């Protein structure tokens, strides 16, 4: 292990509280035994849910439907604009409508293998188990999934699987699912059970005697700082891909809510596990602030290739078949273009590094529909992907019906997140984390169409029960907003905002963020080495040391002030970035999206070290605040595998 790493901390034992017994009955037995709050008592409990994406909206709606009083927060102007709306390609479920022999066990196995054997078996089994209920729930809400001619729900394939288990609404699956969850949420608003606080940013979690008892939020329109007491807090605040500055995530997506919880003592697990998605529109210029995803579903019918001749300047349609290098089909004949994302991304990078890349920067590969348009006809391709094709044409000016798309990998999803136990509770009692904000199910790489599945599994089917169980088994709190812990937390939030506004440097938050992102992408992106990570840590510490002198935030705290919001989010990203590099440095193996140059097989695949690293690493924020030399303390949760045999992942 590297000399800069902190030794594992003593004292704290991570207990995932996994029920005993056979894996296929664990969740059923947990449900049978869990405690309920009496229906008449439920309105006396308040629950804060941070986030209105698929995880947060479904959790808030479900807890409201159970009769609890819920305060739901989002920073957008409506819950419907949560980042989940961007999800395109689909949602997995082991329903086997395609009659291919799919089963819960197969979805479980694919997910464990897809995550390169770095996730917790019991959680993944439960995810596969409840996946089927999600589709029923969504259909009952009226979500317009694509259907076959006869009316049956249609499915397609996503990467890393050999069956068609992905349900979809053309290329707008997230939007349609979110409208379903939103209508359930609004129903509870109308019932008086849920209060939605749009345009509010949660800036701290309040703890009383070590237990989560509420949040401090800023009204982003008026700047007012508000206290919200609760019996339980559920974070559903999404992922942290925007640490890379350029990503496919919504511009506003950030880590602040999860990071404030980390500063309060919740452990942050596997921060280095990030997903770089293979099919995004390549960056076009230095001042670009957003990258656009082209859904993985396109790999069902699009073939990925580069010219065999380096620096070939011919137009793609002028390059004959024998001069095209279909690198995924050649390297991974069994899965071909549907190899998992980490593998497909790395293969594209390798091809470009060999000088075979296309486009102005040489960092692009083709995604070509020519053969399938010929085979299936234009109408069939339109039915599946029209909005994606239109989006591509609007952005690039090229029509994918006429010429191949050009794509390149981009930061997209974060598998790391707040450490949670089987009940999705963090190491802070009363603080739960669900959806992309937790680390629970995807290990070192997430398979496509599994994020929506996890967000809705957590929100509709797991958290409502585990939160209720927590409330039923702990004494009712009488803490309210007048408690001194709220005053202390509020003072901290105000103090930080004032400090941002007192800066007199010359750099806008975005400028510093771009600098951070370049370091992260270059040194902690698709390829990491001890050298790159050590350099990145030094450079990030440099950014942190200069931050307060260089930053400039104009305006006031008591008004709508996007620059002030941005500064706060950036402040947290800088700390997180350092931890990501520490985590990547400590994990001396390659697995999934975490590819360490020192640990690859002879044919360029990831080489795991199961002896030393079959663990989830959960990091503790230093009690005395971040010192210049980091000081995060790692705690390892051993991962035990009884249902699957640890094996080298192969998609060949
Ligand atoms: C372009 C794109 C396409 C995708 N396509 C697919 C797909 O086809 N299938 C699939 O399975 N996955 C897909 N994903 C991934 C998937 O969309 C996300 O992982 C998932 O939607 C995350 O849901 P969530 O509810 O956890 O978080 P989000 O949808 O990110 O919601 C986060 C919520 O938290 C709120 N929030 C955050 N911080 C604060 C704060 N401090 N205070 C108040 N509110 C806060 C936000 O306002 C928001 O409401 C895609 C992702 C992208 C970027």
User: 3-state secondary structure string, 453-500?
Assistant: HHHHHHHHHHHHHHHHHHHHHCCCCCCCCCCHHHHHHHHHHHHHHHHH
What are 125-169's pLDDT values in tens digits? 999 999 999 999 999 999 999 999 999 999 999 888 999 999 999
Domain count, the chain: 2
Q: Who has greater pLDDT, 230 or 341?
A: 230
| Residue where a domain stops, chosen among 411, 440, 459 | 411
174-188, 321-335, 625-639, range with the lowest pLDDT? 625-639
Q: What's the rounded mean pLDDT across residues 43-62?
A: 98
The answer to whether residue 107 is domain-embedded is no
| H or E element, residue 637 | strand 633-638
Do the beta carbons of residue 120 and residue 440 sit within 8 Å? yes
Q: Which atom of ligand 1 is nearest to the CA of 241?
A: 53
pLDDT, residue 623, reads 72
Rounded Cα distance, 625 and 263, in Å = 8
Residue 86, phi then psi, degrees to nearest 5: -80, -15
Q: Which atom of ligand 1 is nearest to the CA of 202?
A: 42
Q: Who has greater pLDDT, 624 or 214?
A: 214
Mean pLDDT of the chain: 95
Number of CB atoms found within 10 A of residue 68's CB: 27
Q: What's the rounded mean pLDDT across residues 504-533?
A: 97
The answer to whether residue 397 is domain-embedded is yes
Q: pLDDT at residue 8 above 80? A: no
Shared domain for 523 and 608, answered yes or no, is yes
Structural domain that includes position 530? 484-614
Q: Which atom of ligand 1 is nearest to the CA of 51?
A: 34
For the purposes of burial, counting CB atoms within 10 Å of the CB of 107, is it exposed (0-12), middle (13-18) or buried (19 or more)? buried
**H, E, C per residue of 90-132:** CEECCCCCCCCCCCHHHHHHHHHHHCCCCCCHHHHHHHHHHHH
Angle ∠(209,271,234) on CA atoms, nearest 5: 40
Both tokens assigned to 280: 């995004």
Catalytic position from the list 156, 331, 341, 470? 341
Shared domain for 609 and 488, answered yes or no, is yes
Both tokens assigned to 213: 């008892």
Shared domain for 284 and 405, answered yes or no, is yes
Ligand 1, atom 53, lies closest to the CA of: 249
* Among candidate residues 112, 53, 107, 57, the one with its CA nearest the CA of residue 85: 53
Q: pLDDT at residue 282 above 90? A: yes
pLDDT, residue 605, reads 87
pLDDT, residue 284, reads 85
Mutation pick for ligand 1 pocket among 84, 111, 166 (CB with most ligand atoms within 8 Å)? 84
The answer to whether residue 549 is domain-embedded is yes
For residue 534, the domain's CATH number is 1.20.58.100
The answer to whether residue 551 is domain-embedded is yes
Shared domain for 507 and 394, answered yes or no, is no
For residue 336, the domain's CATH number is 3.90.700.10
Q: What's the rounded mean pLDDT across residues 469-479?
A: 96
| Residue where a domain stops, chosen among 411, 440, 467 | 411
What are 378-424's pLDDT values in tens digits? 999 998 899 899 999 999 999 999 999 999 999 999 999 999 999 99
Rounded Cα distance, 77 and 424, in Å = 28
pLDDT, residue 286, reads 78
CA 146–ligand 1 middle distance (angstroms)? 22
pLDDT grade, residue 1 (50/70/90)?
very low
Mutation pick for ligand 1 pocket among 56, 81, 292, 564 (CB with most ligand atoms within 8 Å)? 56
CA 52–ligand 1 middle distance (angstroms)? 9
Sheet holding 633-638, edge to edge: 417-418, 268-269, 615-620, 633-638
What are 593-641's pLDDT values in tens digits? 999 999 999 888 899 999 999 999 999 998 766 666 778 999 999 999 9
CA 520–ligand 1 middle distance (angstroms)? 21
For ligand 1, residues with CB inside 6 Å are 50-56, 73-76, 82-84, 86-91, 173-174, 200-202, 236-238, 248-249, 253-254, 256-257, 293, 295, 412-413, 435-437, 449-452, 455
Distance of CA 478 to the CA centre of its chain: 35
Q: Which atom of ligand 1 is nearest to the CA of 239?
A: 30
Shared domain for 517 and 604, answered yes or no, is yes
481 to each of 130, 208, 209, how far by Cα in Å? 37, 11, 15
Shared domain for 311 and 405, answered yes or no, is yes
| Residue where a domain stops, chosen among 411, 442, 458 | 411
The answer to whether residue 83 is domain-embedded is no
pLDDT grade, residue 4 (50/70/90)?
very low
Give the 3-state secondary structure of residue 234: strand
Q: pLDDT at residue 347 above 90? A: yes
Do the beta carbons of residue 300 and residue 339 sit within 8 Å? no
User: E-strand spans in 582-628?
Assistant: 615-620
The answer to whether residue 283 is domain-embedded is yes
pLDDT, residue 652, reads 82
DSSP state of 6: P
Q: Are strands 155-156 and 633-638 parallel, antiparallel or unpaired?
A: unpaired
Both tokens assigned to 184: 């359930």
Rounded Cα distance, 485 and 481, in Å = 9
Q: pLDDT at residue 434 above 90? A: yes
Which residues lie below 8 Å from residue 434, measured CB to CB, with a gap of 6+? 55, 56, 59, 234, 235, 236, 424, 455, 458, 459, 462, 463
The answer to whether residue 649 is domain-embedded is no
Both tokens assigned to 347: 């293969």
Both tokens assigned to 278: 């293979």
Ligand 1, atom 27, lies closest to the CA of: 238
What are 102-133's pLDDT values in tens digits? 999 999 999 999 999 999 999 999 999 999 99
Q: Who has greater pLDDT, 603 or 517?
A: 517
CA 304–ligand 1 middle distance (angstroms)? 27
Q: pLDDT at residue 229 above 60? A: yes
Q: What's the rounded mean pLDDT across residues 490-514?
A: 97
CA 514–ligand 1 middle distance (angstroms)? 22
Q: pLDDT at residue 9 above 60? A: no
Both tokens assigned to 142: 């009226």
Ligand 1, atom 10, lies closest to the CA of: 449
The answer to whether residue 539 is domain-embedded is yes
In which region does residue 404 sit, left (phi positive, over 0), alpha (psi from -120 to 50) or beta (all else)?
A: beta
pLDDT, residue 628, reads 63
Q: pLDDT at residue 522 above 60? A: yes
Q: Which atom of ligand 1 is nearest to the CA of 435?
A: 26
CA 175–ligand 1 middle distance (angstroms)? 11
40 to each of 45, 223, 479, how far by Cα in Å? 11, 37, 21
CA 79–ligand 1 middle distance (angstroms)? 11
Is 494 designated active site? Answer: no
Q: Which atom of ligand 1 is nearest to the CA of 173?
A: 8
Q: Are strands 46-50 and 232-235 parallel, antiparallel or unpaired?
A: parallel
What are 236-280's pLDDT values in tens digits? 999 999 999 999 999 999 999 999 999 999 999 999 999 999 999
Shared domain for 282 and 380, answered yes or no, is yes
- Alpha helix stretches (DSSP H) within 207-305: 256-263
pLDDT, residue 507, reads 98
Ligand 1, atom 21, lies closest to the CA of: 84
Shared domain for 496 and 376, answered yes or no, is no
CA 642–ligand 1 middle distance (angstroms)? 32
Mutation pick for ligand 1 pocket among 78, 82, 146, 235 (CB with most ligand atoms within 8 Å)? 82
Mutation pick for ligand 1 pocket among 48, 58, 76, 86 (CB with most ligand atoms within 8 Å)? 86
């Amino acid at each position: 292990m590297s000399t800069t790493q902190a030794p594992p901390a003593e004292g704290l034992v991570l207990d995932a509280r996994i029920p005993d017994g056979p894996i296929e009955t664990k969740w059923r037995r947990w449900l049978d035994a869990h405690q309920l709050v009496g229906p008449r008592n439920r309105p006396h409990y308040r629950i804060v849910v941070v986030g209105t994406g698929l995880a947060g909206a479904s959790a808030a709606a479900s807890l409201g439907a159970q009769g609890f009083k819920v305060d739901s927060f989002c920073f957008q102007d409506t819950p419907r604009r949560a980042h989940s709306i961007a999800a395109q390609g689909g949602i997995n479920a082991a329903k086997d409508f395609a009659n291919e022999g799919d089963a819960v066990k197969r979805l479980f196995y694919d997910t464990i293998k897809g995550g390169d054997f770095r996730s917790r078996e019991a959680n993944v089994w439960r995810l596969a188990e409840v996946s089927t209920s999600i589709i029923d729930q969504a259909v009952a809400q009226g979500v317009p999934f694509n259907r076959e001619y006869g009316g049956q729900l249609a499915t397609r394939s996503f990467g890393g699987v050999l069956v068609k288990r992905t349900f979809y609404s053309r290329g707008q699956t997230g939007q349609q699912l979110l409208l379903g969850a939103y209508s359930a949420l609004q129903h509870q608003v109308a019932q008086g059970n849920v209060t939605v606080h749009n345009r509010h940013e949660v800036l701290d979690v309040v703890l009383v005697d070590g237990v989560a008892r509420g949040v401090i939020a800023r009204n982003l329109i008026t700047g007012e700082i508000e206290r919200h007491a609760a019996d339980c807090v559920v974070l559903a605040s999404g992922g942290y891909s925007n640490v890379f500055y350029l990503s496919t995530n919504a511009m506003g997506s950030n880590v602040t809510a999860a990071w404030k919880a980390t500063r309060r003592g919740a452990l942050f697990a596997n921060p280095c596990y990030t997903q770089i998605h293979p099919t995004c529109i390549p960056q076009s210029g230095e001042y670009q602030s957003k990258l656009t995803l082209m859904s993985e579903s396109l790999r069902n019918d699009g073939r990925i290739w580069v010219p065999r001749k380096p620096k070939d300047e011919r137009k793609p349609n002028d390059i004959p078949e024998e001069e095209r290098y279909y690198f995924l089909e050649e390297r991974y004949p069994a899965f071909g273009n549907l190899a998992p994302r980490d593998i497909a991304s790395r293969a594209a990078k390798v091809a470009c590094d060999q000088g075979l890349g296309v486009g102005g920067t040489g960092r692009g590969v083709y995604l070509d529909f020519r053969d399938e348009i010929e085979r299936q006809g234009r109408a069939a391709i339109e039915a599946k992907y029209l909005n994606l094709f239109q989006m591509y044409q609007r952005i690039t000016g090229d029509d994918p019906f006429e010429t191949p798309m050009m794509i390149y990998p981009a930061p997209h999803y974060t598998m790391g997140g707040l450490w949670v136990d089987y009940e999705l509770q963090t190491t802070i009692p009363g603080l739960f984390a669900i959806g992309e904000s937790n680390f629970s199910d995807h290990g070192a790489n997430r398979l496509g169409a599994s994020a929506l599945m996890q967000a809705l599994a957590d929100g509709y089917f797991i958290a409502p029960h585990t939160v209720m169980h927590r409330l039923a088994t702990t004494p009712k709190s009488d803490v309210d907003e007048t408690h001194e812990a709220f005053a202390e937390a509020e003072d901290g939030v105000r103090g930080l905002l004032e400090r941002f506004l007192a800066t007199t440097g010359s750099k806008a938050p975005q400028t510093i963020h771009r600098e951070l992102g370049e370091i992260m992408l270059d040194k902690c992106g698709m390829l990491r080495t001890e050298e790159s990570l050590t350099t990145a840590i030094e450079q990030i510490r440099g950014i942190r040391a200069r931050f307060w002198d260089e930053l400039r935030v104009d305006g006031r705290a008591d008004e709508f002030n996007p620059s002030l919001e941005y500064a706060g989010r950036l402040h947290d990203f800088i700390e997180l970035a350092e931890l990501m590099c520490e985590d990547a440095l400590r994990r001396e193996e390659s697995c999934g999206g975490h590819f360490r140059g020192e640990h690859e097989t002879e044919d360029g695949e990831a080489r795991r070290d199961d002896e030393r690293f079959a663990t989830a690493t959960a990091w503790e924020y230093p009690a005395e605040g971040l010192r210049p030399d980091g000081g995060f303390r790692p705690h390892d949760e051993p991962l035990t595998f009884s249902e699957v045999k640890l094996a080298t992942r192969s998609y060949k």
